[in-house]
Protein backbone atom coordinates (compact mmCIF):
# COMPACT_ATOMS: atom_id res chain seq x y z
CA UNK A 1 0.00 0.00 0.00
CA UNK A 2 1.29 3.48 -0.90
CA UNK A 3 1.72 5.90 2.03
CA UNK A 4 -0.33 9.09 1.95
CA UNK A 5 1.30 11.87 -0.10
CA UNK A 6 1.93 14.03 2.94
CA UNK A 7 3.55 11.25 5.03
CA UNK A 8 6.99 12.58 6.02
CA UNK A 9 10.43 11.13 5.65
CA UNK A 10 11.71 11.08 9.22
CA UNK A 11 15.39 11.92 9.66
CA UNK A 12 16.76 11.04 13.06
CA UNK A 13 20.00 12.00 14.81
CA UNK A 14 21.18 12.73 18.32
CA UNK A 15 21.57 16.37 17.31
CA UNK A 16 21.97 18.55 14.25
CA UNK A 17 24.41 16.24 12.43
CA UNK A 18 21.63 14.67 10.39
CA UNK A 19 21.14 18.00 8.65
CA UNK A 20 24.13 17.07 6.48
CA UNK A 21 22.06 14.14 5.22
CA UNK A 22 18.99 16.36 4.83
CA UNK A 23 20.98 18.73 2.59
CA UNK A 24 21.76 15.88 0.18
CA UNK A 25 18.19 14.60 0.35
CA UNK A 26 16.81 18.03 -0.61
CA UNK A 27 18.87 17.96 -3.78
CA UNK A 28 17.24 14.72 -4.91
CA UNK A 29 13.73 15.07 -3.47
CA UNK A 30 13.02 18.78 -3.03
CA UNK A 31 9.26 18.22 -2.74
CA UNK A 32 9.40 15.53 -0.04
CA UNK A 33 7.89 16.43 3.34
CA UNK A 34 10.50 15.97 6.06
CA UNK A 35 10.30 15.63 9.81
CA UNK A 36 13.73 16.11 11.42
CA UNK A 37 14.16 14.70 14.92
CA UNK A 38 17.11 15.50 17.17
CA UNK A 39 17.38 13.46 20.37
CA UNK A 40 19.43 16.20 21.96
CA UNK A 41 18.31 15.14 25.44
CA UNK A 42 20.46 12.05 24.76
CA UNK A 43 23.38 13.82 23.05
CA UNK A 44 26.19 12.77 22.83
CA UNK A 45 25.41 9.20 21.79
CA UNK A 46 29.10 8.62 21.23
CA UNK A 47 29.78 8.58 24.97
CA UNK A 48 26.99 6.10 25.79
CA UNK A 49 27.08 2.33 25.99
CA UNK A 50 25.76 0.11 23.22
CA UNK A 51 22.82 -0.96 25.43
CA UNK A 52 21.88 2.63 26.24
CA UNK A 53 21.96 3.68 22.60
CA UNK A 54 20.02 0.65 21.35
CA UNK A 55 17.26 1.05 23.96
CA UNK A 56 16.96 4.78 23.46
CA UNK A 57 16.88 4.73 19.66
CA UNK A 58 14.43 1.82 19.38
CA UNK A 59 12.10 3.34 21.99
CA UNK A 60 12.08 6.80 20.46
CA UNK A 61 11.68 5.62 16.88
CA UNK A 62 8.79 3.40 17.96
CA UNK A 63 6.98 6.33 19.56
CA UNK A 64 7.76 8.66 16.66
CA UNK A 65 6.47 6.10 14.17
CA UNK A 66 3.18 5.72 15.97
CA UNK A 67 2.72 9.42 16.31
CA UNK A 68 3.79 10.66 12.85
CA UNK A 69 3.36 7.61 10.56
CA UNK A 70 6.47 8.37 8.47
CA UNK A 71 6.82 6.70 5.06
CA UNK A 72 10.48 5.98 5.79
CA UNK A 73 12.90 6.52 8.65
CA UNK A 74 16.53 7.47 8.13
CA UNK A 75 18.87 7.05 11.05
CA UNK A 76 21.13 9.94 10.05
CA UNK A 77 23.68 9.04 12.70
CA UNK A 78 26.59 6.63 12.36
CA UNK A 79 26.66 5.82 16.06
CA UNK A 80 22.99 4.85 16.25
CA UNK A 81 23.10 3.01 12.91
CA UNK A 82 26.17 0.91 13.58
CA UNK A 83 24.66 -0.18 16.91
CA UNK A 84 20.88 -0.24 16.53
CA UNK A 85 19.93 -0.43 12.86
CA UNK A 86 19.14 -4.14 12.68
CA UNK A 87 17.18 -4.20 15.96
CA UNK A 88 15.15 -1.14 14.90
CA UNK A 89 14.37 -2.81 11.57
CA UNK A 90 13.22 -5.91 13.43
CA UNK A 91 10.60 -4.03 15.43
CA UNK A 92 9.30 -1.38 12.99
CA UNK A 93 7.09 -1.94 9.94
CA UNK A 94 8.34 1.17 8.18
CA UNK A 95 11.49 0.99 5.97
CA UNK A 96 14.58 2.14 7.85
CA UNK A 97 17.71 3.44 6.13
CA UNK A 98 20.92 3.67 8.13
CA UNK A 99 24.23 5.47 7.87
CA UNK A 100 27.32 3.44 7.13
CA UNK A 101 30.86 4.79 7.59
CA UNK A 102 32.07 5.49 4.04
CA UNK A 103 35.02 3.07 4.12
CA UNK A 104 34.22 1.58 0.71
CA UNK A 105 34.44 4.86 -1.26
CA UNK A 106 37.49 5.88 0.79
CA UNK A 107 39.26 2.65 -0.18
CA UNK A 108 38.55 3.40 -3.84
CA UNK A 109 39.90 6.93 -3.47
CA UNK A 110 43.12 6.52 -1.50
CA UNK A 111 46.40 6.55 -3.42
CA UNK A 112 48.72 6.07 -0.46
CA UNK A 113 46.66 3.18 0.91
CA UNK A 114 46.29 4.88 4.30
CA UNK A 115 42.83 6.02 5.33
CA UNK A 116 41.89 7.94 8.46
CA UNK A 117 38.50 7.53 10.09
CA UNK A 118 36.99 10.05 12.48
CA UNK A 119 33.89 9.05 14.41
CA UNK A 120 32.48 8.98 17.89
CA UNK A 121 34.01 6.72 20.55
CA UNK A 122 31.04 4.36 20.23
CA UNK A 123 31.33 4.15 16.43
CA UNK A 124 35.08 3.55 16.18
CA UNK A 125 34.89 0.51 18.47
CA UNK A 126 32.04 -1.19 16.59
CA UNK A 127 32.43 -4.66 15.08
CA UNK A 128 30.40 -3.24 12.20
CA UNK A 129 33.37 -1.00 11.37
CA UNK A 130 35.72 -4.02 11.60
CA UNK A 131 33.50 -5.80 9.08
CA UNK A 132 33.52 -2.86 6.66
CA UNK A 133 37.30 -2.69 7.00
CA UNK A 134 37.68 -6.42 6.31
CA UNK A 135 35.29 -6.29 3.37
CA UNK A 136 36.42 -3.13 1.61
CA UNK A 137 39.82 -2.09 2.95
CA UNK A 138 41.63 -5.32 3.82
CA UNK A 139 44.58 -4.27 1.64
CA UNK A 140 44.67 -0.74 3.11
CA UNK A 141 45.69 0.72 6.43
CA UNK A 142 42.70 2.15 8.32
CA UNK A 143 43.54 4.40 11.27
CA UNK A 144 40.64 5.28 13.54
CA UNK A 145 40.23 8.09 16.03
CA UNK A 146 37.34 9.08 18.29
CA UNK A 147 36.73 12.83 18.11
CA UNK A 148 33.89 13.76 20.49
CA UNK A 149 35.09 17.37 20.53
CA UNK A 150 34.00 17.70 16.91
CA UNK A 151 30.40 16.83 17.82
CA UNK A 152 30.34 19.67 20.33
CA UNK A 153 32.07 22.03 17.94
CA UNK A 154 29.52 21.31 15.19
CA UNK A 155 26.59 21.73 17.58
CA UNK A 156 28.02 25.04 18.76
CA UNK A 157 28.76 26.27 15.24
CA UNK A 158 25.13 25.94 14.22
CA UNK A 159 24.25 28.02 17.25
CA UNK A 160 26.51 30.80 16.05
CA UNK A 161 29.54 29.99 18.25
CA UNK A 162 33.04 30.22 16.74
CA UNK A 163 34.60 26.84 15.92
CA UNK A 164 36.72 25.40 18.71
CA UNK A 165 40.07 25.16 16.91
CA UNK A 166 41.54 22.97 19.66
CA UNK A 167 38.94 20.30 18.84
CA UNK A 168 40.00 20.42 15.19
CA UNK A 169 43.68 20.22 16.11
CA UNK A 170 43.04 17.29 18.48
CA UNK A 171 41.19 15.37 15.76
CA UNK A 172 44.01 15.92 13.26
CA UNK A 173 46.69 14.95 15.78
CA UNK A 174 44.70 11.87 16.81
CA UNK A 175 45.13 10.48 13.29
CA UNK A 176 48.45 12.00 12.20
CA UNK A 177 50.27 10.93 15.38
CA UNK A 178 49.48 7.25 14.91
CA UNK A 179 52.13 5.09 13.21
CA UNK A 180 51.68 5.67 9.47
CA UNK A 181 49.47 8.69 10.09
CA UNK A 182 51.67 10.89 7.90
CA UNK A 183 50.54 8.92 4.85
CA UNK A 184 46.82 9.54 5.30
CA UNK A 185 45.43 11.01 2.08
CA UNK A 186 41.72 10.20 2.64
CA UNK A 187 39.62 10.76 5.75
CA UNK A 188 36.24 9.15 6.39
CA UNK A 189 33.92 11.46 8.30
CA UNK A 190 32.05 8.68 10.11
CA UNK A 191 29.79 10.97 12.11
CA UNK A 192 27.09 13.04 10.47
CA UNK A 193 28.12 16.09 12.51
CA UNK A 194 31.61 16.27 11.03
CA UNK A 195 30.85 17.54 7.50
CA UNK A 196 29.59 20.69 9.23
CA UNK A 197 33.28 21.35 10.00
CA UNK A 198 34.64 20.33 6.62
CA UNK A 199 36.23 23.70 5.83
CA UNK A 200 38.21 23.67 9.09
CA UNK A 201 39.18 20.01 8.88
CA UNK A 202 40.33 20.46 5.30
CA UNK A 203 42.43 23.46 6.26
CA UNK A 204 44.00 21.59 9.17
CA UNK A 205 44.74 18.32 7.34
CA UNK A 206 46.09 20.08 4.25
CA UNK A 207 45.04 20.31 0.63
CA UNK A 208 46.28 16.83 -0.30
CA UNK A 209 43.73 15.11 1.99
CA UNK A 210 40.30 14.26 0.64
CA UNK A 211 37.20 13.63 2.74
CA UNK A 212 34.34 11.22 2.27
CA UNK A 213 31.07 10.86 4.12
CA UNK A 214 27.92 8.85 3.61
CA UNK A 215 25.34 11.60 3.09
CA UNK A 216 25.03 11.55 -0.69
CA UNK A 217 24.85 7.75 -0.75
CA UNK A 218 22.10 7.70 1.87
CA UNK A 219 20.11 10.30 -0.05
CA UNK A 220 20.39 8.19 -3.22
CA UNK A 221 19.21 5.13 -1.30
CA UNK A 222 16.18 6.99 0.08
CA UNK A 223 15.28 8.39 -3.37
CA UNK A 224 15.55 4.90 -4.84
CA UNK A 225 13.28 3.37 -2.19
CA UNK A 226 10.68 6.10 -2.71
CA UNK A 227 10.89 6.41 -6.48
CA UNK A 228 7.28 5.36 -7.08
CA UNK A 229 5.79 7.57 -4.39
CA UNK A 230 4.16 10.99 -4.63
CA UNK A 231 4.82 13.91 -2.30
CA UNK A 232 2.69 16.78 -1.03
CA UNK A 233 3.95 19.17 1.63
CA UNK A 234 0.78 20.24 3.45
CA UNK A 235 2.56 22.11 6.22
CA UNK A 236 6.07 23.54 6.58
CA UNK A 237 8.81 21.02 7.40
CA UNK A 238 9.72 21.03 11.04
CA UNK A 239 12.23 19.76 13.57
CA UNK A 240 11.50 18.13 16.90
CA UNK A 241 13.99 18.27 19.78
CA UNK A 242 13.75 15.92 22.74
CA UNK A 243 15.47 18.42 25.05
CA UNK A 244 15.97 22.14 25.42
CA UNK A 245 17.98 23.08 22.35
CA UNK A 246 19.00 26.55 23.55
CA UNK A 247 19.90 27.70 20.09
CA UNK A 248 17.96 30.91 19.78
CA UNK A 249 17.88 32.89 16.57
CA UNK A 250 21.16 31.48 15.21
CA UNK A 251 19.91 27.90 15.33
CA UNK A 252 16.57 28.89 13.85
CA UNK A 253 18.32 30.61 10.95
CA UNK A 254 20.53 27.54 10.45
CA UNK A 255 17.49 25.24 10.44
CA UNK A 256 15.77 27.52 7.97
CA UNK A 257 18.75 27.25 5.63
CA UNK A 258 17.96 23.50 5.52
CA UNK A 259 14.27 24.19 4.84
CA UNK A 260 13.12 23.63 8.44
CA UNK A 261 10.67 26.40 9.22
CA UNK A 262 9.51 25.42 12.65
CA UNK A 263 10.80 23.59 15.68
CA UNK A 264 9.10 22.04 18.70
CA UNK A 265 9.73 19.80 21.67
CA UNK A 266 8.93 16.10 21.51
N1 LIG B 1 25.82 12.42 14.67
C2 LIG B 1 26.15 11.24 15.37
C3 LIG B 1 26.90 10.23 14.48
O4 LIG B 1 26.79 10.29 13.27
C5 LIG B 1 26.85 11.27 16.70
C6 LIG B 1 26.89 12.40 17.62
C7 LIG B 1 26.80 11.97 19.08
O8 LIG B 1 27.81 11.60 19.69
O9 LIG B 1 25.67 12.02 19.59
O10 LIG B 1 27.56 9.36 14.95
Q: 238: domain range?
A: 9-99+216-265
For 209-233, what is each residue's pLDDT tens digit? 999 999 999 999 999 999 999 999 9
For 174-223, what is each residue's pLDDT tens digit? 999 999 999 999 999 999 999 999 999 999 999 999 999 999 999 999 99
Task: State which ligand 1 atom lies nearest to the alpha carbon of 76.
Answer: 4
For 77-101, what is each residue's pLDDT tens digit? 999 999 999 999 999 999 999 999 9
Please tell me whether residues 137 and 237 are part of one structural domain.
Answer: no
Whether 101 is in the pocket of ligand 1, judged by its Cβ within 6 Å, is no
Whether 78 is in the pocket of ligand 1, judged by its Cβ within 6 Å, is yes
Number of domains in the chain: 2
The residues that bridge with 13 in the sheet, in sequence order, are 38
Please tell me whether residues 112 and 182 are part of one structural domain.
Answer: yes
**Atom 2 (ligand 1) nearest CA:** 77
Domain assignment present for residue 85? The answer is: yes
Please tell me whether residues 157 and 107 are part of one structural domain.
Answer: yes
| Final residue in a domain of this structure, among 190, 213, 236 | 213
| Final residue in a domain of this structure, among 213, 237, 253 | 213
| Final residue in a domain of this structure, among 193, 213, 233 | 213
Report CA torsion sign: 36, 40, 46, 52: negative
Catalytic residue from among 29, 43, 57, 77:
77
CA 186 to centroid of ligand 1, rounded, Å: 20
How does 236-251 read in b/e, with b if 16+ C-beta sit within 10 Å? ebbbbbbeebebeeeb
Domain assignment present for residue 253? The answer is: yes
Domain assignment present for residue 4? The answer is: no
For 156-168, what is each residue's pLDDT tens digit? 999 999 999 999 9
Whether 56 is in the pocket of ligand 1, judged by its Cβ within 6 Å, is no
Domain assignment present for residue 3? The answer is: no
For 13-27, what is each residue's pLDDT tens digit? 999 999 999 999 999
CATH number at residue 150: 3.40.50.1860
In the chain, % of residues over pLDDT 70: 100
Please tell me whether residues 118 and 77 are part of one structural domain.
Answer: no
pTM for the predicted model, two decimal places: 0.97
Amino acid sequence: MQPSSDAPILLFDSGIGGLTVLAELRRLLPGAPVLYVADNAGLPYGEKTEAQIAARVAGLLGRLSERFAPRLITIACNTASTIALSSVRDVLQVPVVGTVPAIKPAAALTRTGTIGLLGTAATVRQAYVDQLEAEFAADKRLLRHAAPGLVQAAEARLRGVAVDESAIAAAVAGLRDQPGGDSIDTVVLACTHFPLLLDRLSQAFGAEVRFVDGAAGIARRIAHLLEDQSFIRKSPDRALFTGDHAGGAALEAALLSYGIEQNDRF
